[in-house]
Structure 1
């Protein structure tokens, strides 16, 4: 007799997703970071055990510390007393037809699921046709619809060409999916909403947005030739030593416009899907900073203050001062300023290199809370219990409740900071005690940067630090939410 059940299904080779195929054609596969009860391998719309079909959101076999539900994690001996009566009772009257749940209850459940997490909503729609028809199809809405954004998912760095793993920073769940659009597009950056900014076309001028979890239709934006001046069009070439990066980009507060930022060129672009041209906004900045889209508004740091992009119907877009700095930021390459979203609070991290009397040097990280109402910065010695993974271009705030191996009120550095892999070899800075933690890495010249400095297997801290590490080539940009 042929082997059946979950054990046989786990050895079945996943079917590759055909081009153009979406999640609606597939059934879900639960993430391996959760212990799934036996009924997860059945079709909820019938009482007959089914083997799960490969899903667009596949289980990710990666070592990520997560919290396991104790009622699901334990194994029990199968006896007549603990068997599922719906599967073993021959009385058909005990069967439930979940497909006929009704559009009202099923639609209400779908709304609750979507409010919690878009990945669960994708799995809900993939269960069966009746459930799929009772809830909203993401493909009928543009990529700017905030209801379907994967806000709490982090895209981990991968060596594979098109496969990507995503880590939920709230639950620790990890999933893997193939993004076939990367065959014809280059990654330019990621928005705080979790959308990937892509470049398309032989000349690499067409800008598109993609939701990696819902696989909504690509949203077209105006070409970059209408944003960059003619003398900068050569920056679009893939072999440039300093390629364009779109960190600090995102969706504006009006939910209909996109802000595209090239901070290294001090150029902003504002456009809506379907527009022919970008509205160009220029600003001056001589310091090394990381801009940020926070609550739908663009912020960046200059030598003396924090600037805010103001948009209104009766005036053209412009940069205005949102807060003044008490201490100017140095334009030296050893110093930098980083705007970060720390669990809903706007903060500024001032990274400096101080010279002591004994001619030694010490790296310091001063943290300020930005008070937008008073336009001032308040020095703080805590992150509210959060952990901050800070990169030179982007940052990520993580709750330590989901990852016990991570320390709260601590700044973890990415691998594009010189002090992380050279000089002091600083891995983290604990703010309350102003103490640092060192980590030594052996450089391996046989592998590309930054994998040459990271041992395998990676720790969780390494994985999250790699998320914020930006390489020289835009084809291998590390992406983060």
Structure 2
């Protein structure tokens, strides 16, 4: 009997322990521990994890500040949506028509659809550092908006500088925006606008009442926000150069010329140049065409329809120093990274996080070939969208091929002129004239804007 009682006691003890464990009141977690958890979430996690943590219970929510209280000026990089991109619906409906944006996290494959307040009154002109840059359709005022917390920072209207720096409707509708750290204050942000066709670069800081013209007639090929500053590539004296667009230095000797960070003497002008951030480093990627050298022996190997296979890539790490200049170091391997390149923006993602991608590779596009992949391991290129082409450059040959791949979405995100219209880049990188209904829809959408050049000139005179 005694042995039975001991046995029974040994069985009930663990059960009692488990009951005590499950009865713990997590809402009574000490405040310092709650804040320690949130700090670690913001350091290694994401703003969405922080928001989800605060939503668990009222006690945790009360002991942690809201994103607006933590960073009302959108200056803290820990509270920004890191590694998020915007997806395209592919139904030719712009996000500002639906009032919502679907976001995708490239490290966890998390997918979230968020409603953006007042998006129907704005047009997206940038998705920079995880933040949306919007222009008001009626007043041309700029707004930077956090897509998850809806914290917004407003900037002045572009009307006073329209007649000089923008001038054309296409320039206004296709300008590209970037969010940088403000040059005059460590507690605010700045927006830098690159205006196509006119080749102007404009900037304004939060709280400013006007836009500064930083550079005139500067043809910028590619831009990158790195460590809070905006860099770009341009041709000067028949050489490619990396220049610092913002912040800029002003002096009577330099006028509004950009600061040259690095020159690429080994990269001739016929190359195509891209800037991309990968693993916290700035990379310069040069794409060149390898010309086919005809001989009697290799003439049969020439394939004029597969000229894109002769593209070659060279890469350099841009090592910045405190003096404002940089040293270029050759890079031969990307390890698990896959680069997505375009003139409007570039991405670096991990093939480990997204297994459908190929590591140590570059995804790019050329005329009439929207989805190409170059393997740095083999040195070979291949076309990935052969069976997804909806037209032959003239007429429709098949319906849209669904579902879209992650490669399609990543390349489309790198081409904002398409995804802001709700068009997948691999389908509509070239819109044939036979697509009359779609072209008329796009044209009508452009002229829906209440903001007009004549109104801009009038508003500029009133302001000046």
Task: Give the TM-score of the pair, scaled to structure 1.
Answer: 0.68
Match of 2:51 among 122, 130, 140: 122
Compared with structure 1, are the counterparts of its residues 328 and 243 closer, same or farther at alpha carbon in structure 2 (3 Å cutoff)? Answer: farther
Q: Who is 2:452 aligned against?
A: none
Change (3 A) 1:364 1:249: farther
Deviations 1:264-314 (A, max 9, x none): 23322232222101222015545x721111111111112221111364899
Q: Is the 8 A contact 1:294 1:341 kept in 2?
A: yes
> Comparing 378-387 with 399-408, which one deviates more in the overlay?
378-387
SS of the residue 1:222 aligns to: strand
1:366 aligns with 314
The aligned residue for residue 134 of structure 1 is: 63
Written as runs of structure 1 = structure 2, the 5 A alignment for 1:88-237 is 95-115=23-43, 116-140=45-69, 141-158=72-89, 159=91, 161-191=98-128, 193-203=129-139, 205-216=140-151, 218-230=152-164, 232-235=166-169
CA contact 2:262–2:327 (8 Å) conserved in 1: yes
Partner of 2:242: 306
Deviation of 1:326 after TM superposition, in Å, equals 1.3
Partner of 2:269: 330
Equivalents in 2 of 1:114, 1:154: separation in Å? 19
Residue 263 of structure 1, CA deviation: 5.1
The structure whose residues are more often helix, as a share, is: 2
Q: How many residues align?
A: 373
- In 2: Cα distance, 1:137 partner to 1:317 partner: 41
Q: Secondary structure at the match of 2:40?
A: helix
Question: Separation in 2 of the partners of 1:418 and 1:248?
Answer: 26
1:244 deviation in Å? 2.4
Distance 1:230 1:109 in 2: 51
Using a 3 Å threshold, how does the CA distance of structure 1 residues 283 and 356 change in structure 2: closer, same or farther? farther
Distance change >3 Å, CA 427–CA 355, structure 1 → 2: same
What SS does the corresponding residue of 2:34 show, helix, strand or coil? helix
Report what 1:400 is aligned to. Answer: 351
How many angstroms apart in 1 are the aligned matches of 2:83 and 2:418? 26
Residue 298 of structure 2 is matched in structure 1 by none
CA RMSD in angstroms comes to 3.5
How far is 1:126 from its partner?
Answer: 1.6
Gap change, CA 1:145 and 1:476, over 3 Å in 2: farther
Unaligned runs of 5+ in 1: 1-80
Q: Distance in 1 between matches of 2:102 and 2:336?
A: 26
Aligned CA distance change for structure 1 residues 470 and 420 (closer, same or farther; 3 Å): farther
Q: TM-score, normalised by structure 2?
A: 0.71
Match of 2:285 in 1: 349
Q: 1:155 to 1:168 in 2, by over 3 A?
A: same
- Report whether the alignment pairs 1:462 with 2:408: yes
| CA distance in structure 1 between the partners assigned to 2:32 and 2:290 by the alignment | 63
Q: Which runs of 5+ in 2 are unaligned?
A: 1-10, 295-301, 426-464
Which among 315, 319, 325 is matched to residue 258 of structure 2? 319
Provide the rounded CA distance (Å) in 1 between the counterparts of 2:327 and 2:399: 39
CA distance in 1, matches of 2:423, 2:225: 19
Displacement after TM superposition at 1:245 (Å)? 2.5
Seen in structure 2, the aligned counterparts of structure 1 residues 147 and 462 have a Cα distance that, compared at 3 Å, is same
